[in-house]
Chains A and B, each alone.
Chain A
């Protein structure tokens, strides 16, 4: 009886060790959700440098806002300037949702433009494909 429980304990230990080894072999996909508030006060160049530094750290970046088309172009330009053997570029998708009357009123009041929406940016090595719809997008990543 004692022998049996000992062998059971051993088997359990072994199974745990195998499971641990298996899970540690898996690669992680890191996603960073960033509030647009973090980018407030930063100029376009600083925003782009901030996003690119996160992306080059092999993270997918999700912003709760849309970049302007000028910022998107600057992001593309900055990416091209940074491409090398280890970094082949980015995939990104910006989804803009139009604000209602209140947002327009707020824009008029503050003189600021609020681009509501969502932006996903990732290293092209990880973020393999983005399929867009009019108001949706589907992304597939590989780690």
Chain B
């Protein structure tokens, strides 16, 4: 029923020359290349990335959107709102995150990151008399200077940015638990968003077995809701890639073989999205 209504809507839109904006959701298991593809599309057509790509599963813990991406498909124009979804899973173990090293962060400078001489400069500016060790100065300053004010004060007093250690550290237990909590919330959000997408790209790692419960559940759900599905067999640049397995597992849906990392076959993907988006 939903599919029929969409088709009718599409016909009317075309008749009256109105261009429909497709809400395109990129779904799949963690580490299948969803953000890599979203970044590639967004960089090609908007010149800006969508999110951070990393080896760690559940790196994307928020639904990342890029609106109004206009893509030329032959003589047609495809307009879409791109939704990069967190990876779907049935288990999230915080201990797994403790195996990974933290990526480079651009966290704002805090009071504790500054040298004693710089802390004294801030104290002078704020007309606070300080003396003694760094911890004593810090305790006194913290009463009247918030960490959020530090970057502005550094600019004002020409304090140089402190050098941070370039050595990457692994996530601590507390940090890993925090990531796990965010990841579980993100999965719930991604599931809820299944009701708000027009077309879904189901990303699969073509080097792995596609017959997983998450893939079966996701595709079954989309079929029940009448949402068009395009299967994306990613990582075809790798030797162990076997996209035939994906095609034989879900023969009822169109499949496009791509390498999101290399930007291979993206035009074919755009054509398939355009053809199957009603």
CA distance A124 to B90 in the complex (A): 9
Q: Are the CB atoms of A80 and B92 closer together than 8 Å?
A: yes
Contact A83-B180, Cβ < 8 Å, known A90-B90, A90-B91, A92-B90: yes
Interface string of B174-206 (1 = CB under 8 A from A): 000100100011011001001000000000000
Least distance between B42 CB and chain A CB atoms (Å)? 27
Least distance between A66 CB and chain B CB atoms (Å)? 10
A73, A131, A132: the one within 8 Å of B191 (CB) = A73
Chain B residue at minimal CB-CB distance from A82: B184
Chain B residue at minimal CB-CB distance from A123: B91
Contact A80-B221, Cβ < 8 Å, known A85-B94, A88-B93, A124-B93: no
Contact A70-B224, Cβ < 8 Å, known A92-B213, A130-B213, A132-B211: yes
Interface string of A115-132 (1 = CB under 8 A from B): 000000000100000111
Q: Which of A38-67 contact B (CB under 8 A)?
A: none
Number of B residues with CB within 8 Å of any CB on chain A:
26
Say yes or no: is B125 at the interface (Cβ < 8 Å to chain A).
no
Say yes or no: is B113 at the interface (Cβ < 8 Å to chain A).
no
Contact A77-B188, Cβ < 8 Å, known A72-B217, A94-B213, A132-B211: yes
Say yes or no: is A142 at the interface (Cβ < 8 Å to chain B).
no
Chain B residue at minimal CB-CB distance from A89: B91
Q: Are the CB atoms of B91 and A91 closer together than 8 Å?
A: yes
Interface of B, helix, strand, loop or mixed by DSSP: helix
CA distance A110 to B179 in the complex (A): 47
CA distance A127 to B24 in the complex (A): 34
Chain B residues with Cβ below 8 Å from A133 are: 211
A76, A89, A134: the one within 8 Å of B217 (CB) = A76
Contact A80-B211, Cβ < 8 Å, known A88-B93, A90-B91: no
Say yes or no: is A140 at the interface (Cβ < 8 Å to chain B).
no
Q: Which of B79-99 contact A (CB under 8 A)?
A: 88-95
Chain A residues with Cβ below 8 Å from B188 are: 77, 80-81
Say yes or no: is B212 at the interface (Cβ < 8 Å to chain A).
yes
Chain A residues with Cβ below 8 Å from B103 are: none
Chain A residues with Cβ below 8 Å from B92 are: 80, 83, 88-89
5 closest residue pairs by CB, A with B: A89-B91, A69-B220, A88-B93, A124-B91, A80-B184
Q: Given A80-B187, A89-B92, A90-B91, list of 19 further CB < 8 A pairs?
A: A69-B220, A72-B217, A73-B194, A73-B217, A77-B191, A80-B92, A80-B185, A81-B184, A83-B91, A83-B180, A83-B184, A88-B92, A88-B93, A88-B95, A89-B91, A91-B90, A132-B212, A133-B211, A134-B211
**Interface of A with B (CB < 8 Å)?**
69-70, 72-73, 76-77, 79-81, 83, 85, 88-94, 124, 130-134
What are 19 pairs between A and B in contact, CB < 8 Å? A69-B223, A70-B224, A72-B213, A72-B220, A76-B88, A76-B187, A77-B191, A79-B90, A79-B91, A80-B92, A80-B184, A80-B188, A83-B180, A83-B184, A89-B91, A94-B216, A131-B209, A132-B209, A133-B211
